[in-house]
Amino acid sequence: MQKRKLGKSNLEVSALGLGCMGMSFSYGAAKDKNEMISLIRAAVDRGITFFDTAEVYGPFTNEELVGEALAPVRDRVVIATKFGFNTDGDGRPGAQSLNSRPEHIKLVAEASLQRLKTDVIDLFYQHRVDTEVPIEEVAGAVKELIQAGKVKHFGLSEPGVETICRAHAVAPVTAVQSEYSLWWRKPEAEVIPTLEELGIGLVPYSPLGKGFLTGKIDENTQLGSNDFRSTLPRFQPEAMKANRAMVDLLETMGKKKNATPAQIALAWLLAQKPWIVPIPGTTKLARLEENIAAVAVELTADDLREIDEAAAKITVEGARYPERLEAMTGR
């Protein structure tokens, strides 16, 4: 497995990470814990060293799963988790209220350390920007945790450019996590140039469009009421039917490269910048191995130009989030 450094930090991780949320949260019923432990350990065996979770996934159960799975190999892996929500919501993504008060951040850190069975969090993200708390206070709290040896690196998830710059001035930001893929390219306008200027890494979540870019989901797919995607405008049948054009593009390039649509989608992301580390999630070993194989798919400058020109002709239908959740991003 190739390695990458997140920006100018000394945080080196596998070129592809593993997003663990879906193992216990958001995409239908939680999966069998022992099977997911085996999957996480299989990822380690195959060279993945970067694992993503959050206290709010569950809440708490995903951190517990990741902690138990990685405890035997803790010295070989990098664990990222997140703070910034109260955990008194009804269990739906985004149902919880925001809370990035410094005293809350420190309580979350202590609890996450326990659940993750570790004495240090490698990368601690603010999950969503809390407009009630100045970002300087948030960065200051994490800086204190770093000075106390409880956190190694500070990250932000779905921030706007001003927030990134203000936070970075207080405590160096190692990584920004934002949705980024061929069907959500908004970070290219302002966020990615800012990260390049400041030397901050980018960790794209949902790099496979929450599963849509794999080609395994279409307008006939029945998403259960406990599947978060059923609430998203982009996953309504008419939108999925219109957005099939993006999958067709990936399939066309895949035939040229002897690769699957998912592998082309990931290879495209990896080709954008050397400090981009996508974190596709999965609950299946075959998909894990398919995703890992994407690291070996080489897209030439001509391939990338062909993909960009074709993608520019496709209008993606449907918002990525309902308005309330979208309002929590880019702040």
Count the alpha carbons within 13 Å of 181 in the hemisphere toward its beta carbon.
26
Whether the upstream peptide bond of residue 193 has omega within 30° of 0, thus cis, is no
Q: Under DSSP, is residue 109 helix (H, G, I), strand (E, B) or coil?
A: helix
Joined together, the tokens standing for residue 21 give 């949320």
Question: CA geometry: angle at 320 spanning 21 and 242, to 5°?
Answer: 120
Strand 3-5 versus strand 173-179 pairing type: unpaired
Of the candidates 57, 125, 205, 321, the residue annotated as catalytic is 57
Phi-psi group of 39: left, alpha or beta (phi > 0 → left; psi -120 to 50 → alpha; rest → beta): alpha
Q: Distance between CA atoms of 231 and 240, rounded to whole angstroms?
A: 13
Is 205 one of the catalytic residues? no
CB 30 within 8 A of CB 226: no
| Residue whose entry in the numeric block shows the structure tokens 């925001």 | 98
- What letter would DSSP give residue 126? E
Amino acid residing at 212: F
Active site residues: 57
